[in-house]
Structure 1
């Protein structure tokens, strides 16, 4: 398929794991078309926004924390049929390491796709309904730690 034959969605996320082995997750409400699930804080990149700036903005909106972007941890994509348009889409997802620089836990967006955020122990993720981006990011983190 040629690039002019499908839509592209860019999304940027942060992987934040604290010293107690808890990961910061955002509860995505499904927006009326999907089952709610845990996701990494992050989301869509606006048209005139850099990927890193989008990650910083999205993390604040979904968690209440200000962050400083670190290095790109991984990128990933999936393809699907569009829900709001006829045709195919490619969702390109970028996951960054990040450092919390301020703020406090609490979702700041109103009427958005995130209902709340929480620090979830990694040991309790098994069996939790979660987006594939959580597993993609944690697998990339494990590879990085093995290489260190």
Structure 2
């Protein structure tokens, strides 16, 4: 938000979203190609997205990852959380987007987007060394920076 506007929680909309960061043993990251939905330029994003009103964050991230990648996942530890505020495109007023990024393990499925007519066109394993210069959502960089800050497993 460009200006400091104190608001009560009843004065703005909230969007919960959850994503996973999965980097394989070949230093490739699993990404989803977000198509921009007709209002933004397409770009790579983490698999995940908006949590439905009646689902838990964990159930929502599992559903979203399957829809966007074709993989079944088991979410792990919370890697990072991030939020931003902006004016709504489909309603008048401010909204807060609260985003959670989890580590995850693939437990089944196969690579292939299962949603039809959605915001993700395809998913792909992208080498980390090839990310520079690629159009990507800031959530990708936020998650990768959090991964770098995480202490190594013992």
TM-score (norm 1): 0.97
How far off is 1:4 after superposition?
Answer: 1.1
How far off is 1:3 after superposition?
Answer: 1.1
**Match of residue 67, structure 1, among 69, 73, 77:** 73
- 1:38 is matched with 44
- 2:131 is matched with 125
- 1:84 is matched with 90
Q: In structure 2, do the counterparts of structure 1 residues 68 and 147 end up closer, same or farther at CA, with 3 Å as the change threshold? A: closer
- 2:4 is matched with none
How far off is 1:145 after superposition?
Answer: 3.8
- For the pair 1:12 / 2:13, whether they are aligned, the reply is no
What is the DSSP-based 3-state SS (H/G/I as helix, E as strand, rest coil) of the residue aligned with 2:114?
Answer: coil
Give the Cα separation in 1 of the matches to 2:152 and 2:73.
25
**Match of residue 108, structure 1, among 109, 114, 120:** 114
Would you say how many aligned residue pairs link Structure 1 and Structure 2?
A: 148
- Runs of 4+ displaced beyond 6 Å: none
C-alpha RMSD of matched pairs (Å): 1.1
